[in-house]
């Protein structure tokens, strides 16, 4: 029997809506006919109770701390796959076999170079510009190089755009870093894996051979996997909304990068490390936890809390394990910030304020510490997040564009401004 929801209005009218069910997770009330039937809108700033779309890509159960990419638990993907396999999975819906992976890697590898004129975009920025500002500018500028050959209604064009973005983001992120430290750009190499290539572009210098450390490459590759997609978060919703107007994918991804930059979202890993540096040592934890609980203090524990996870963020646990591995590999197991983070997490998880509000460490809590240990500067953390999330943004964008039902996103509002009034000419005001 079809499930229904009925809205009974105080004027005696009642309006019925279909209830739609998915594979797993909450049902949704299909309210698309609400305005037509009742003359009213729903009101849900922040979209706390709103499903903006249907999707087959990622599923999160916030109460159970579950994250699935195309049905596969994040723990299993982190253990058995590399990032390029997860890219294939998110874009195509299935994990690749060896032949499919080989072909995918071959294509991605041959799109890692950027148009050489793109190098000049960097010289327009100050060296001390935040690398996320550079990223928004340069990724948006890719439209100037590929927009004329891009028909978003053409499946093949959408596919080539996906390859270009997945392949070129590491090159652009590494260029943003090299530009910020005044070192020459390092070109990609086709004989290296996706993540080894990125680490070499970040850390190699012309003066000597760069030695790839497979343990560190595996750790960063896993960090990419953990950040690859996350349902309809703020930046993904931004990419979808930008894409709903028919904007090209490079412009949409640039919009996603801009949204991700905020400290409440992808900027939290940078903010979290700055917070740990400010706390300094375990003796000061109490003072900062007190501030985080104070309604009159805007301070929040960065890397804690989540709109959806009201249990442990499964990525935070995997990130903590990765952090441990990297610090051990580098002989930094006594790293003071890692020890401080472990102590802070323990204090917060035993404090009633955090327990009652179901605030747990999220993906950003440990990612800054492990990236810092890998030699990545704090200002680059959100760029790394953007690099990894690009495949998720593209998969979500492709899913929307391929949906024959999709329309331009155009929310309404509750108007609380001035009623209609006459405008007086200047001499009468
Ligand atoms: C990411 O959406 C995604 O999926 C995002 C992401 C992804 O992969 O795309 O997972 C990546 O962005 C992770 C989140 C990174 N942000 C941070 O770590 C910043 C610190 N966290 C908070 O700003 C906050 O928890 C949010 C923004 C993450 C979630 O905010 P919500 O869901 O709007 O929750 P809220 O702010 O309404 O908090 C509920 C209560 C509030 O208290 P009350 O008003 O109910 O009394 O909890 C409090 C908040 O004040 N609270 C915190 C807190 N987070 C929430 N108090 C102290 N420290 C915190 N970190």
CA pair distance 117, 384, nearest whole angstrom: 23
Residue minimizing CA distance to atom 26 of ligand 1: 306
Distance 204 CA to ligand 1 centre (A): 37
Report which ligand 1 atom has the smallest distance to the Cα of 303: 18
Residue 361 Cα to ligand 1 middle (Å)? 10
Ligand 1 atom 23 nearest Cα: 264
φ/ψ of residue 194, rounded to 5:
-50, -50
Of 363, 366, 376, nearest to 320 by C-alpha is 366
Quote the strand ranges of 1-142, DSSP E: 4-8, 14-20, 28-29, 58-61, 66-69, 72-73
* Residue 93 phi, psi (nearest 5): 95, -10
Burial level of 12, CB count in 10 A (0-12/13-18/19+)? exposed
The token pair that represents 291 in the structure block: 């501030």
pLDDT for 150 equals 79
Task: Say what the pTM is.
Answer: 0.94
Q: What is the pLDDT of residue 404?
A: 86
Catalytic residue among 82, 306, 313, 335: 306
Full 3-state SS string of 230-258: CCCCHHHHHHHHHHCCCCCHHHHHHHHHH
Helix (DSSP H) and strand (DSSP E) numbers for the chain: 18, 6
Q: Say yes or no: CB of residue 265 within 6 Å of ligand 1.
A: yes
At residue 333, the pLDDT reads 82
From the CA atom positions of the chain, what is the Rg in Å? 23
Q: How far apart (Å, rounded) are the C-alpha atoms in residues 315 and 173?
A: 23
Give the pLDDT score at 148: 61
CA angle centred on 234, ends 38 and 337, rounded to 5°: 145
Instruction: Assess whether the C-beta atom of 364 lies below 6 angstroms from ligand 1.
Output: yes
Q: What is the DSSP letter of 422?
A: P
Q: What is the DSSP string of 343-412?
A: HHHHHHHTSHHHHHTT--B-THHHHHHHHHHTT--GGGHHHHHHHHHHHHHHHHHHHHHT-TT-------
d(CA 16, CA 28): 13
Asked if residue 362 has its Cβ within 6 Å of ligand 1, the reply is yes
Q: Is 304 near ligand 1, meaning CB less than 6 Å away?
A: yes
371 and 269 in contact (C-beta within 8 Å)? yes
For the chain, first and last CA: distance in Å?
64
Total Cβ atoms within 10 A of residue 301: 23
Q: Using CA positions, which residue lies closest to atom 27 of ligand 1?
A: 264
What pLDDT score was predicted for residue 72?
98
Q: How far is CA 313 from CA 137, 258, 308, 361, 406, in A?
A: 32, 24, 9, 7, 31
| 283 assigned to active site | no
Q: Does residue 292's CB lie within 6 angstroms of at least one atom of ligand 1?
A: yes
Compute CA distances 363 → 133, 233, 253, 277, 414, whole Å. Answer: 23, 13, 21, 18, 34
According to DSSP, the β-strands at 28-29 and 14-20 are antiparallel
Nearest residue to 107 via CA among 116, 121, 96: 96
Contact call for residues 393 and 253 (beta carbons, < 8 A): yes
* 15 bridge partner residues: 7
The verdict on whether 116 is a catalytic residue reads no
Residue 9 structure tokens: 């209005």
Ligand 1 contacts CB of residue 147 (under 6 A): no
Q: Say how far apart CA 59 and CA 309 lie, in whole Å.
A: 12
At 1 the three-state DSSP class reads coil
Tokens 């305005």: give the residue: 35
Kindly report the protein residue whose alpha carbon is nearest to atom 35 of ligand 1.
Answer: 307
Low-confidence residues in the chain, pLDDT < 70:
148-149
Enclosing H/E stretch for 8 = strand 4-8
Separation between Cα atoms, residue 153 and residue 185, nearest integer Å: 35
Whether the Cβ atoms of residue 17 and residue 7 lie closer than 8 Å to each other:
yes
Question: Rounded to 5 degrees, what are φ and ψ at 182?
Answer: 70, 20
Query: Is 399 a pocket residue for ligand 1 (Cβ < 6 Å)?
Result: no
The single residue listed with the structure tokens 């978003």 is: 152
Going by CA atoms, what residue is nearest to atom 51 of ligand 1?
305
Is the CB–ligand 1 distance for residue 393 below 6 Å? Answer: no
* 144 CA from centroid of ligand 1 (Å): 36
Q: Which among 95, 47, 48, 50 is positioned nearest to 69, based on CA atoms?
A: 95
**What b/e string do you get for 124-162 counting C-beta neighbours within 10 Å, with b at 16 or more?**
ebeeebbbbebbbbbbbbbbeebeeebebeeeebbebbb
């Amino acid at each position: 029997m079809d499930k229904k929801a009925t809205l009974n209005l105080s004027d005696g009218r009642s309006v019925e809506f279909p209830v739609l069910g998915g594979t797993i997770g909450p049902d949704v009330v299909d309210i698309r006919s609400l305005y037509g039937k009742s003359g009213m809108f729903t009101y849900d700033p922040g979209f706390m109770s709103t499903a903006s779309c249907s999707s087959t890509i990622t599923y999160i159960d916030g109460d159970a701390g579950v994250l699935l990419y195309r049905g596969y638990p994040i723990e299993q993907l982190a253990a058995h796959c590399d990032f390029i396999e997860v890219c294939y999975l998110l874009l195509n819906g299935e994990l690749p076999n060896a032949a499919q992976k080989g072909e995918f890697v071959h294509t991605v590898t041959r799109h890692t170079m950027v148009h050489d004129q793109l190098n000049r975009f960097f010289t327009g920025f100050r060296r001390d510009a935040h690398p996320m500002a550079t990223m928004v500018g340069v990724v948006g500028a890719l439209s100037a190089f590929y927009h004329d050959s891009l028909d978003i209604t053409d499946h093949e064009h959408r596919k080539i755009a996906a390859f270009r973005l997945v392949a070129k983001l590491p090159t652009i992120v590494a260029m943003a870093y090299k530009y910020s430290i005044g070192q020459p750009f390092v070109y990609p190499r086709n004989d290296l894996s996706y993540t080894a290539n990125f680490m070499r572009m970040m850390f190699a210098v012309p003066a000597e051979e760069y030695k790839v450390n497979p343990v560190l490459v595996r750790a960063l590759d896993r960090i990419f996997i953990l950040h690859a997609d996350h349902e309809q978060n703020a930046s993904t919703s931004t990419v979808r909304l930008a894409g709903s107007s028919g904007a090209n994918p490079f412009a949409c991804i640039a919009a996603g990068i801009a949204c991700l930059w905020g400290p409440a979202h992808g900027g939290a890993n940078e903010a979290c490390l700055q917070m740990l540096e400010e706390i300094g040592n375990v003796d000061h934890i109490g003072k900062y936890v007190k501030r985080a609980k104070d309604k009159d203090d805007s301070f929040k524990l960065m890397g804690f809390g989540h709109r959806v996870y009201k249990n442990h963020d499964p990525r935070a646990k995997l990130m903590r394990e990765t952090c441990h591995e990297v610090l051990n590999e580098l002989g930094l197991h006594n790293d003071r910030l890692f020890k401080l983070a472990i102590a802070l997490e323990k204090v917060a998880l035993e404090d009633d304020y955090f327990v009652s509000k179901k605030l747990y460490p999220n993906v950003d809590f440990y990612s800054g510490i492990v990236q810092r240990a890998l030699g990545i500067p704090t200002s680059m953390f959100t760029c790394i997040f953007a690099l990894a999330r690009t495949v998720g943004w593209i998969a979500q964008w492709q899913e929307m564009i391929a949906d024959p039902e999709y329309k331009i996103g155009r929310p309404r509002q509750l108007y609380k401004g001035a009623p209609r009034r006459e405008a007086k000419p200047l001499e009468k005001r």
